[in-house]
Structures are given as structure tokens and as C-alpha cells.
Amino acid sequence: MLFTIISLLLFLPSLTNSSETWIKAGSWFSFGQFPVPDIDSTLFTHLTFAFAYLNNSTYELWIEPSDEPSMLTFTDIVQRKNPSIVTLLSIFVGDSQPFSTFYSMATQPSHRTSFIESSIQTARLYGFHGLELCCVKPDTSTPKMEAIGILFDEWRTAINRESKNYNRSPLILTLAGYYLPSKNSTSYPMESIRWNFDWVHIVSYYYHLPTTENITGAHSALYDPSSNISTDYGIKEWISRGLPADKMVLGLAYHGYAWMLVDPMANEIGSPGRGPAVTHDGSMFYKFIKSTMRCDGEKVLYSSTYVTNYCINGSVWIGYDDAEAIRTKVSYAREKGLLGYKVWHVGNDDNWVLSKAAAQEDENDPRNKRHLLLVILLSTAATVTLALVSAMCGYVPPEYVKRGIYSTKSDVYSFGVLLLQIISGKRNNCSHGLHEDLNLLDYAYDLWKCGKGMEFMDPSLDDTNSSCKLVRCMQIALLCVQENPADRPSMLELSSALKNETVAMNTPKIPAFSIRRNEDEVQASTSQQEIWSVGDASITQMVAR
């Protein structure tokens, strides 16, 4: 009966759909001193390592020596909890000196080549799946904007060429852009951005700071009825300049700013202040706001006008986003057809309250079709088990995660993950094994390779007359989740193998998104194809060190 039900699954609609892509990205700041192993990567689809920098003489990427150890292990570590997580390296070119160096690089062909080649080599060396160019602001100089448009064209061309030459997935390329796409009459090279970047992260905060303004303000206001300084206005400007909504990712801030009030009784948004409070620039991360400043209960107010929270603590006024504001902004991103959201930075959260609020809003959205896809009745000798299977990022094949490629072999991969869950009764987004350090695919592969396949099975399916069939199901599933689509069976071959136990099958290799290296294959594979390893600080603006 089990084989019959599994065979029927072959004809169900695909578990993955490119139209259902939703980015849940986060930045990890190396200067933040938040341990990488403590990141709950199950709450994100993408994580960015911040930062690499631009050398002002060679125009190649420069890495802080103290960042190298964590950079080398970043991808492997975050993929232990979430094998499908995609990692990017962020290149910081903000502030006056980096801006000057960046524009100097962008205007000279030889300097552009040095930067582009260095960025690709660095991303590959440290195991990242993509690159982010962070904090380039629009400039009033038309020649400068034209030059960075050429840079973007050449960068994408080089990424595609490298991918083709080495037979591996092209790096993802993203831009962290200012909330407004133009300055005076000059704007970003929008056509180049639209064609060359996978998405643009709209940095929708830093609007009002106590170091520059003597009135309290919502530094990440979604709306502002009294000015154009708001996220909603910026998003509309980007769209009017030619960037589609589904190319934008909304920035969410996990930090706030504190003003010293002139009059504690005048404590609304827009009240008189006399400079920063508590810290030298007034900046403080969410965790600090909740724990040290004790912003909870009656101290905290929510403004639906601006979509932000603020806390009044005596003479101190703190503007920030709490869970309610975060949920509202995620809902806004959905309603406007944006591609997703990105948080700065994950280490500022307090026990993942904000990240869970964002994810919860995403899950509760009635337009999110990923809730419940299948209800499967598994008949056994003694019981009928109801299995509810919801689509998670773990069903998405590596070629789509890393390259955006979707084919019939993508369905095969999704089916393989589902089959492993059915026969084991185990979840795909949990850790398994003796030391709880393996994802479901690695755990299944290790047991199958050691001839202990029945240890993987759900006890309710442990029938002495069907153990061979269950192990065969396991082997079929492992073939479906191979890294290379060419190593996976077709749907026709899959159906035949399930129906006919005499059909010969290949020996599975190490599965996709593995946190381990296959020692027998590493030497041969490195010359032929890419091996994808699955393996709190107060801030003001993103600044180089």
C-alpha cells in the first residue's frame, strides 16, 4: 500500500513554484560580536556576512584579518540548522572615503576589472553563494552614475562567464540602495540595476537621527504625513523610476535611536529634543532597548500613522520598531508585491522576537500558498497516519536556490525530500543524528551508507515483511536529492523503480546541501564541478572600520 501511495504522489502538483519565492534575509555584522553559531538560520532564506571592503589603492576586496576565521566558516555553520540557507558577502562602500574610492574604481576600466575579479574570487574562496554591494547612494554627477551602470553590466557579465567556464551556479548579485533612487535630477542607472541585480535591498531607515535633528523622529517610518521622508514614498519613487516591485526587498531595522527630551511631558513624535541620549549618538539595538532600557508595558506606544514604536523612559525618548511594527511592514511588503524583506542586523534581536514576528506575519498571510499542500494517508498494518506536509525551503532544489533554475528535475528533488519525511516521520528543518548535527538528508545518507537504513524508518512502518521495500524507498529518495540534477532519475524512471522492485538503481552520492564533504569524491569533483558545502553592538549607520 505504501508503494501505491508514494507512486500516486508522482502525479501531484509540484511542491515548488517560482512564483512563490519570498525572501527572508538577514545581515550579520562581524563587529556586532554576536556568535555565528547562535544565529537561528531557520528564520531566514538568505544571510549576509557584513562586511568586506574596497582597497583604495588596488581596488580589490580587502578583508579585516580578525574577520577571516568567521568568514571561512560562516556558510557551513549557518547551514547546519538550515541546509537551504543562501549566504552572501556584503561589500561596504558607504561614507565619504569609501564612496570616493568606489567612484574612482567605477570610472576606470582597469580598476573595474580588478574589483570585479577580486569580488568573484573572494566569494568563491570563502564559500558564499552571492555578493551584495552595500550603501551606494545616488550622486548628482551624471558621469558617475553612468560609470557605475557600466560597472554593473561588466560585473554581471563576469559572473555569468565564470559560472559557464567552471560549470557552476552563478553568484547571486544584489544591491543595498538608498531609500530614494535619485538625487536632484540624477538617479541610479535604473536600467542596468533592473537587468543585472537579482534584487535591491531598500535601506529604509536612518531617516531621523538625534545627532542631526533636535526633534524626535521615526528613523524607519513607513509613512510620514508631513514629509516625503518615508519608506512608502521611497518605494513609490523606485517604481516610478522603472524598478519593478518584485525586484525590491524591504529593509527592517532591529535598532533604534534615543533623544533627550526638552520637556518630558512633550513626548510625541516630533517633540523638541536636545541631542542623543544614553549612547554617544543615541543608537541602541533592540535587545538593549528591551532589557537595559526596560521598554515594555505602558512605556511603549505604537504609532499607526508612522508604523513605528516609541518608548518614554523619564526624559529619554526612544524610537524603534517592535513586533507590531515589524509585522505591519512585512504585511505592507506583501501587499505591494515586493520580493521580501531584509533585517539589519540579526544579532540585535532579543531572543528572535522580531524575526519570529516577521516570519509569523508571512505564515499568516492568506495569500501565502505555502501553508498546506498535501494531506497524505499512509496505510499500515495497524494504523492510518495523517501526515500534514507544508512546503518549506528544504523542498527547494539547490539549482533553484543558487541559480534560479527550475526544471522537471526540481520536482524530483522535492519528491525525494518528501519521501524521506514520509518513511522516517521526521521533520526536514530539525537536526538529527547522535550529536544532532546532521540535516535530514545527511542523516539518511549516513545510515543508508552504513547499512542501517531501518534505523531511519518511522516505527509505525516497521513491518518485517516490508523492510527491504522501505530501504529501497530510502535509496530512491537519496537518488532524488542529488546535488547535480543529472544524477537524479526522471519522473518516468522514478515511477518505474517504485512499481518494479527488480529495476536496477544507481548508488546515491552525498546529497545536496550536505554539511559534510564526501572524501571519496572531493578530489575528482573539484576539477569538474563546484562542491556546494552546506556546511551586540550598538550601531548608528553602516560604517567601515
Give tens-digit pLDDT for 442-484. 899 999 888 888 888 887 775 555 567 788 889 999 999 998 8
Q: What is the mean pLDDT of the chain?
A: 84
The single-letter code of the amino acid at 15 is L
Q: For the chain, first and last CA: distance in Å?
A: 63
For residue 527, the model assigns a pLDDT of: 39
In this prediction, residue 382 carries a pLDDT of 34
Q: Which of 117-126, 246-255, 511-520 has the lowest mean pLDDT?
A: 511-520
pLDDT, greater one: 29 or 12: 29
> Is residue 5 scored above 70 in pLDDT?
no
Over 50: is that where the pLDDT of 376 sits? Answer: no
Domains 23-251+323-365 and 398-516 share a fold: no
Element (H, E) at 271: none
Which letter does DSSP use for residue 333 in this model?
A: H
Strand partners, 187: 182
Q: Are 139 and 103 in contact (CB under 8 A)?
A: yes
Is a pLDDT exceeding 90 seen at residue 406?
no
Q: Span 398-516: which CATH code? A: 1.10.510.10
**Better-predicted residue by pLDDT, 273 or 368:** 273
| Percent of the chain topping pLDDT 90 | 60
Q: Determine which helix (DSSP H) or strand (DSSP E) holds 245, and give its type and residue range.
A: none
465: exposed, middle or buried (C-beta count within 10 Å: 0-12, 13-18, 19+)?
Answer: exposed
The pLDDT of residue 541 is above 80: no
**For position 398, what pLDDT does the model report?**
83
User: What pLDDT does residue 535 have?
Assistant: 32
377 or 303, greater pLDDT: 303
The region of weakest confidence among 69-83, 126-140, 361-375 is 361-375
User: What pLDDT, on the 0 to 100 scale, is given for residue 16?
Assistant: 39
Residues 295-303, mean pLDDT to the nearest whole number: 93
What per-residue confidence (pLDDT) applies to 112? 97
Question: By mean pLDDT, which of 27-31, 202-206, 430-434, 505-509 is the weakest?
Answer: 430-434
Judged against a pLDDT cut of 80, whether residue 17 lies above it is answered with: no
Please tell me the predicted confidence (pLDDT) of residue 364. 58
Is residue 495 very low, low, confident or very high in pLDDT (cuts 50, 70, 90)? confident
The CATH fold of domain 23-251+323-365: TIM Barrel (3.20.20)
- In whole angstroms, give the CA distance from residue 282 to residue 302: 20
**Mean predicted confidence (pLDDT) in 67-80:** 96
Q: Convert the pLDDT of each residue in 116-129 to its tens digit.
A: 999 999 999 999 99
- Stretch 37-66: mean pLDDT: 96
Find the mean pLDDT for residues 73-81. 95
Mean pLDDT along residues 379-400: 51
Please report the pLDDT score of residue 329 as a whole number: 97
> For the chain, what's the residue count?
545
Number of Cβ atoms within 10 Å of the Cβ of 441: 25
Domain ranges of the chain: 23-251+323-365, 398-516
Express as a percent the part of the chain with pLDDT over 70. 82
Place of cell 527592517: 252
Please, which residues have CB within 8 angstroms of residue 79's CB and are 6 or more apart in sequence?
41, 85, 87, 513, 515, 533, 534, 535
Side-chain-facing half-sphere of 396: CA atoms under 13 Å: 24
Flag whether pLDDT at 110 surpasses 80. yes
pLDDT at 455: 86
**Residue 545 pLDDT grade (very low, low, confident, very high; cuts 50, 70, 90):** very low
